Structure 1
Amino acid sequence: MTFTKRVQPDRNKIEMNDDYAVKYWTHELGITRSRLQHLVEKVGNSAAAVRKELSR
């Protein structure tokens, strides 16, 4: 039997292909999935960049 260490997700990046990550970020930021997708397309998948854009 082989055990593998589970890798923690990078909380500095927003991975739109990961349903768990999308659910986390939509809840964390208080926005919809479509709004999150739009922001990631606009400023990239950096959580800091998305937060900065939201604060505008």
Structure 2
Amino acid sequence: MSDDKTKQGRDRKFIARGEPYEVRHFADTHDISIELAEKLIKQHGNSREALDAAAKAMKA
């Protein structure tokens, strides 16, 4: 059975908190520690858009 093509790309809108490689990638992208990345995810949820904004706001 093939993948559902209508759901393509939806996962990129979220960061999987339970997947260490995704948290590490987010932390590396924003040049922050993994601990801080986990804290942001806990505070703002797993929406990549909200987390990107929060990380950028911290640096400003």
The alignment's TM-score, normalised by the length of structure 2, stands at 0.66
Alignment partner, residue 11 of structure 2: 10
Q: Which runs of 5+ in 1 are unaligned?
A: none
Give the ranges of 4+ consecutive aligned residues of structure 1 lying more than 2 Å apart after TM superposition.
none
Q: Which has the higher helix share?
A: 2
Q: Distance in 1 between matches of 2:26 and 2:36?
A: 11
- Between the aligned residues of both structures, percent identity stands at 22
RMSD over equivalenced CA pairs, Å: 2.1
How many residue pairs match? The answer is 51
Q: Distance in 2 between matches of 1:23 and 1:55?
A: 16
Q: Cα offset for 1:55? A: 2.4
Alignment partner, residue 50 of structure 1: 51
The alignment's TM-score, normalised by the length of structure 1, stands at 0.69
